Every structure is written in structure tokens, then in C-alpha cells.
Amino acid sequence: MIKKIFLYTLLTLIVIVVGSFGICYYSLQQFSKQQINVTPNNQMFVLKKGTSIHQLITQLKEAKLLDRAFLLPYLYKLDPSLSSIKAGTYQLHPHMTVEEFLRLLVSGKESNFSIQFVEGKRAKDWLKVIQNTPYIQQTLTEKTDEEIAKLLGIEGSIEGWLSPDTYLYTADTLDINILKRAHMTMKSNLQKIWDNRDSDLPYQSPYEMLIIASIIEKETGLSSERANVASVFVNRLKAKMKLQTDPTIIYGLGDNYTGVIRRIDLMDTENPYNTYVIDGLPPTPIAMPSLASLEAAAHPAKTNYLFFVANGTGGHTFSDNYGNHQQAVNEYRRQIK
């Protein structure tokens, strides 16, 4: 009789333990398939280096991402592969389950952000873009143009030396590292194009070609015109004529430019970028040129053009003598009136 009671009690305990285990296993499985609470305010999840399981639970509670976060340690015991989480910044998605969330942390596949550098903009414009872009570690805000150039290995100004493009980065990327990539891209592109340039160009170095490319970039936004614009500047340089291009004056005026170039600005001998006064090229590029403008500078159209003026429809009228150019100027003035 005692044996029967013992066996019955033992079987009962086994059933209870197995049943409890089954219920616990089922609950954890349900928990792993539960969706986390992703909202527009918590789509980016930052996991710091050295975060413990208990710290993760607290973080999930504070972010209101996960109900019953206290079950995480038990889920880890059920599936230890979910516990090898890696620090980083992760993009969360609606309908993501607890298991998918943890596997994302285990994968280490951080979210990629992007920053766009637009052609034709100046270095200071790009630096403002960097300063206003999230998830970038700012180290350059107090540095001068010359100090930044030194960090990039550039002699003189960084103007023109950064390649326009969209760059991907992960959270906490240093601002200088993004600029290094843009600089290396421009340096590589410039050298390749320089090596394949036309043979009869009046440039003494790749840098001079970079300067011309930056002026082309500011003078026209039409791909079909770039080679013709380049031909005007090449022909002027060969003829020892002044470039007489307004964008260089505007660049030299900096913050003093009010939207209109005055007659006194054209005569200003103190402005080193005043190509109505100086001979040859300005001292530096005046913008970040596109690949297309670099190609145009290296392969200008074969023309006799020495002048161009806006035609009132978004393009320009090109002329090979001053008389025709003046007629085009008068026509443009009639149109804008």
C-alpha cells in the first residue's frame, strides 16, 4: 500500500513538473513570437557596448518596446544563441517579433544612414550639412578650413577637393572620416581624368583643372553645355584673356554678396577671385565640381567660342567675337525686361 502511494505521488510530481515545463516552454515560445512595440518615436534602438541582460531589460522597459521583458533571461536559456548581442544602432520595423529583434542585435547589422553632398556647393555649405546630420560624431565644429585641410592631407583649402555624392555611414561615425572618403574619391577621380585629358590644354596641374571644373559647375547646370563652357575658358586661357566669370567674384565676396554684382565689384582689385581683374585662374576652386564638370574641363568642345551669356530659357548663347556677344547680351536684356 505504501509503495502504491509513493508511486502515485511520484507520478503526480512528474506530471506536474512535465506539465509545468510544457506550459513554461509554450509561454516562452509565445513570448518569442510576440511583436515589439515599434512606434515612430522608437524606431532607432541604440545598444551601448557592455550592456548586460538586466540593463537591456531596463532599457526595453523605459523605451516601452517590450511587454514582459523579464522573460528575456529564460528565453536566453531556451535559446542561448539569442544572447550574443552586439553593440550598435539598429533600425526597428513594425511587426518585428521579440526573436527577430534579438537576432538583429546578434547579427550586428547596424542601420546605415546617408548624407548627400550636392555638387556646386561650397566647403562651408557641406560642413553645415554635416553638423546638422544626426548620428555623426562632431569633431570639426571649432576647426578652421586650414586645420580641416591638414587633417585630410590637403595643402591649402579643402574647397573643390571633396567629391559630390551620397555617402552611407553608421551611427557615431566621425565627421572627419566622412570627409576623408569624399576627399579620396575626388583625388582618385581627378587623377584618372587628368591622366586621360586632351593633350592641348592650358593647365599646368590637376589642381588647375579642378579650378576650371568648379567654375564650369557654377556657370551651367545643363549637361549639354558643359563642354562648350569649358571651351570658352580654355580658349581664353590660350589667348591670354581674362576669364571674366561672375561666379568667381561672388565666391570672393563671400557673405558680402547681396545678390547683385555691382560695378565696383568688377573693379575690386582686393578680391583675389575677381577674374575681371586678375590674369589666369583664381587661387582655389570656388565649389565642389561634379564628375561631369571634371570631364568637361578635361575634354572641352573644339570651338572658337570666347563669350557666353544667358539666353533667358535656362541655357546660354555662345559667341566667337565680341560683336555677336553684345547682340546676345542685348537680346537677353530685352527678354528680362
Q: What is the pLDDT along the chain (337 residues), one digit of tens a residue?
A: 555 554 444 444 443 343 444 447 677 888 888 888 888 777 889 998 888 888 999 999 888 898 888 888 888 888 888 888 999 999 998 889 999 999 999 999 999 999 999 999 999 999 999 999 999 999 999 999 999 999 999 999 999 999 999 999 999 999 999 999 999 999 999 999 999 999 999 999 999 999 999 999 999 989 999 999 999 999 999 999 999 999 999 999 999 998 999 999 999 989 999 999 999 999 999 999 999 999 999 999 999 999 999 988 889 999 999 999 999 999 888 887 7
Return the domain boundaries, the chain: 2-107, 113-190, 197-336
Grid cell for residue 326: 553684345
Q: What are phi and psi of 281, to 5 degrees?
A: -90, 155
Non-local (6+) Cβ contacts of 329 within 8 A are 309
Q: Which residues contact 187 (CB under 8 A, 6 or more apart)?
A: 161
Here the cell at position 333 is 536684356
Sign of CA dihedral 300, 301, 305, 311: negative
Q: Are 74 and 21 in contact (CB under 8 A)?
A: no
Predicted TM-score (pTM) above 0.85: no
